[in-house]
Structure formats: C-alpha cells, structure tokens
C-alpha cells in the first residue's frame, strides 16, 4: 500500500483517515446518494483532483507560474470530443482522442517552454497568459471545427450511458428482529438493500474514478522519483541546481510537458463524463482561478493538498448556494440579505482569505505540521 503511494503518505493520521474516507465515499458514491447531481459532483471532484494535482507539479514542485493550464485541460477534452464526432461513437475514438489531446498538449507545452522558460519566470507567466487567451479566442472563432461558444455535443459508446443496463445489485432483505422493530405493529420489519440498476452512467463514473486514481498515484510517484526531487531543488534554488549539474531549463520544460499531459488526461476524463465540451466548461479563465484556489487552499507542493483543495472547492461551488439558500430563509432581514444564494462567491472569497491567513501552507500543510505550517 505504502509502495503504491510511493512512500508518500498523507502526512498525519487525521489526513490518512480523511483521505481513506474520501476514497470510500467516492467509491460508493453511486450507491450512497440519490440523484444525478451527487454523482456529477463526485465525478467533478475526481477530474479536478487530477487537474489541480497536475498544476501542483509545476507550481508547487517546480515553482513555475503558468496560466495556460486550462488550455491543456481543454485540449484533452476537445480531443475526445472531436474524435468522437469524426471517428464515430466508439471506445477507439475515446482512446484516440485522449492520446491525440495528450500529444498536442505536450507539444504545445514543449514549444511554450522552449521559447520562454530560458528567461525570467515572470516572462513565462505572461507568455502562458497570452497563449491561453489566444487559444480561447481561436476556439470560439472556429465554430466549424470547435462549435464556437456553443461547444460540441457528441455521443460516447452506449455502454457508458444511462440507457445501458449492466446488471442489478443483488437485493438483500434483512428482517429485523422484533426487538428492534418494536415500534411496528407487531409484524417483523424488512429492511431492503441493493437491487439498484447498474447503468452505463455508473460504469462511466467508475471509469472516471479509476482513471483519476491511477493518474494521481502516478503523479505521487513522479514527485517522489529522482525527477521530482530535482524539480524541488530547482524551486528552492535554481542556481544551485544548475551548479550541481542539473540543466535547469531542460527540467523545467520536461515538468511543463508532463504537467500538460496530465491536465489533458483530466480533460479527456471530463469529456467522457460530460459528453459535452465548450469554452466555459474547459477553457475559461474562471477554471484557471479555481485550480489556483484548489492548489493554494489545499497546500502547494504536496499533491495531496490540491486533491483536498479540489474536494473542498467543488463541494463549496456545488452546495454553498444551497446552504446559503437555507440560511437566508431564517427571516432575519440583514442576515437574509447576506446569505442570499447569489452571494456565494463572496463567502467563498472570505473562506479563501481565512484559509490563506490561518493555513499559509494549505489544509494539508496545516494538518501535517500543526499550526504555522512547516517548522
């Protein structure tokens, strides 16, 4: 187990329990919650965990600031979409689209990296911003290819859709002992479990979950490999890393490429799940900000942190409005205004500021090292 985790444990007992719990909930999500919204949230948690972790590879480990991460995410998603449209509805299309998206993302990352990672960090950040903006404009201006602002809807193999039935969970009926069922009018009560239909949608969810799990574990492995240690060294002191014999530019470019490839894979998973891609869901600058928040809230340079950050932010985005709606029905005039569901962004912002103020090393950093982050 520890070996699969690359010897990189979450870092504290509480964290280990929390992550185990998270995994259990995600694994049982289709059967724990009713309705498609919960499952959709669970799938988004998986995808964004991968996306945030892949951003951590460059931001947290290599110390590179990039604003092009959503572009790579989008490329992966559009890869699957375009392949599904042009190759036809098939698993081959999913595979080919994923690989193509990954290759394009890696190539683009290599180009940007080679042109701009030699110079100052701020310059690289600007270049990524420019390229990502240009890419987003390009996508919206090429409706024939990309569907423009409307995006693309396509069909994935039937085996992965709600229409397909893979089977049913066995039904278990437990008759409760009389003692427990005493509130009943005398007869034994029967508790019925299972019997649920396993649709293709659920299989699709497990594809997303399994894929995300493998990707996050792979990234944990990378950061604990010699390569990952070099990235940390470069982040800490690039001059010294170079003096010790590491060609800093090459490592930076390699990190950018690897991170982009993982982002594209996250995008491909997202595309399989949504069966739709559009600029707003994969390329928008809002998502870039979300990723940054996830990494910072969770704790940079830990992989575990961004995963936690993704869980936190996706849950907040999905349910904060509901919670606020509940709170604004209390009938207290000022509070009702304050808790208006439309104000959810305000509350998220507040939570972010508190987070950065009190856990400067992120949630995971805080739980690993106690108050004040790393000693």
Partner 1 sequence: MAEPALETRSLTVRFGGHVAVDAVSCRFRAGELTAIVGPNGAGKTTYFNAISGRVHATQGQILLDGQDITRLPMAARTRRGLGRAFQLTSLFPGLSVFENVRLAVQARQRKGARLFALADADHAMADAARAVLDQVQLRHLSGRLAGELSHGDQRKLEVGLLIALEPRVFLFDEPTAGMSADAAPAILRLIEDIRRDATRCVLLVEHRMGVVRRLADRIIVLHNGALAADGTPAEVMAADVVRDAYLGRSLADA
Q: Where are the alpha helices (DSSP H) in the chain?
A: 13-32, 36-56, 69-86, 91-116, 121-141, 143-146, 200-223, 226-236, 238-244, 248-274, 279-282, 285-298, 304-327, 333-338, 344-358, 362-369
Residues 3-42 vs partner 1: string with x where CB under 8 A?
Answer: ---xx-----------------------------------
| Length of the chain (residues) | 375
333-362 positions binding partner 1, by CB under 8 A: none
C-beta of 97 vs 362, nearer to partner 1:
362
368 vs 12, 13, 293, 307, CA distance in Å?
5, 9, 19, 15
Cβ-based nearer residue to partner 1, 241 or 310: 241
Q: Which of residues 180-239 bind partner 1 (CB under 8 A)?
A: 218, 221-222, 224-230, 232-233, 235-237, 239
Smallest distance from partner 1 to CB 220, Å? 10
Nearer to partner 1, 75 or 248 (CB): 248
According to DSSP, the residues that pair with 194 across neighbouring strands are 171
We find the least distance from the C-beta atom of residue 312 to partner 1, in angstroms, to be: 25
Cβ atoms 97, 84 nearer than 8 A: yes
By CB under 8 A, how many residues form the interface with partner 1? 31
Give the CA radius of gyration of the chain: 23
> Considering beta carbons, is residue 303 or 324 the nearer one to partner 1?
303
Identify which of residues 261 and 268 has a Cβ nearer to partner 1 in the complex: 261
What's the CA angle centered on 128, arms 286 and 272, to 5 degrees? 55
**How far is Cα 228 from Cα 223, in angstroms, rounded to an integer?**
4
Chain Cα centroid distance, residue 113:
24
Min. distance of Cβ 217 from partner 1 in angstroms? 11
Tokens 């991968």, located at residue:
50
Between 231 and 324, name the residue whose CB sits nearer to partner 1.
231
Name the residue nearer to partner 1 (CB basis): 97 or 305.
305
Q: Could you say whether residue 374 binds partner 1 (CB under 8 A)?
A: yes
Interface residue with partner 1 among 247, 329, 330, 349 (CB under 8 A) is 247
Q: Does 268 engage in binding with partner 1 (CB under 8 A)?
A: no
**CB-side neighbour CA atoms (13 Å) of 124:** 24
Does 173 sit near partner 1 (CB under 8 A)?
A: no
Q: Which residues bind partner 1 (CB under 8 A)?
A: 6-7, 218, 221-222, 224-230, 232-233, 235-237, 239-248, 251, 254, 258, 374
């Amino acid at each position: 187990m520890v070996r699969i985790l690359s010897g990189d444990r979450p870092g504290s007992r509480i964290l280990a329990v929390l992550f185990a719990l998270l995994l259990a909930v995600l694994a049982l999500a289709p059967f724990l919650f009713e309705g498609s919204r919960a499952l959709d949230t669970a799938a988004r948690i998986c995808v964004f965990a991968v996306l945030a972790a892949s951003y951590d590879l460059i931001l947290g480990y290599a110390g590179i600031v990039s604003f092009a991460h959503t572009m790579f995410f989008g490329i992966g998603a559009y890869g699957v979409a375009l392949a599904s449209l042009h190759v036809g509805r098939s698993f081959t299309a999913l595979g080919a689209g994923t690989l193509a998206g990954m290759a394009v993302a890696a190539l683009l990352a290599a180009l940007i990296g080679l042109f701009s990672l030699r110079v100052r960090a701020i310059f690289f950040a600007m270049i990524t911003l420019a390229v990502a903006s240009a890419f987003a404009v390009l996508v919206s201006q090429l409706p024939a290819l990309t569907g423009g602002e409307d995006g693309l809807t396509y069909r994935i193999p039937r085996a992965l859709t709600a229409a397909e039935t893979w089977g049913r969970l066995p039904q278990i009926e437990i008759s409760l002992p009389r003692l427990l069922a005493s509130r009943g009018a005398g007869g034994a009560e029967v508790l019925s479990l299972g019997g649920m239909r396993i649709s293709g949608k659920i299989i699709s969810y497990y594809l997303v979950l399994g894929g995300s799990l493998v990707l996050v574990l792979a990234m944990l492995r990378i950061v604990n490999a010699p390569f990952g240690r070099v990235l940390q060294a470069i982040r800490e002191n690039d001059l010294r890393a170079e003096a010790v014999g590491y060609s800093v530019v090459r490592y930076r470019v390699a990190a950018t490429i690897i991170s982009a490839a993982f982002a594209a894979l996250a995008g491909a998973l997202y595309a399989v799940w949504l069966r739709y891609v559009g600029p707003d869901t994969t390329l928008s600058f809002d998502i870039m900000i979300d990723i940054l928040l996830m990494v910072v809230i969770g704790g940079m340079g830990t992989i575990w942190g961004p995963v936690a950050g993704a869980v936190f932010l996706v849950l907040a985005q999905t349910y904060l409005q509901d919670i606020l709606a509940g709170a604004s029905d209390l009938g207290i005039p000022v509070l009702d205004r304050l808790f208006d569901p439309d104000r959810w962004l305000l509350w998220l912002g507040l939570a972010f500021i508190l987070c950065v103020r009190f856990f400067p090393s992120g949630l995971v950093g805080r739980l690993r090292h106690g108050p004040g982050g790393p000693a």
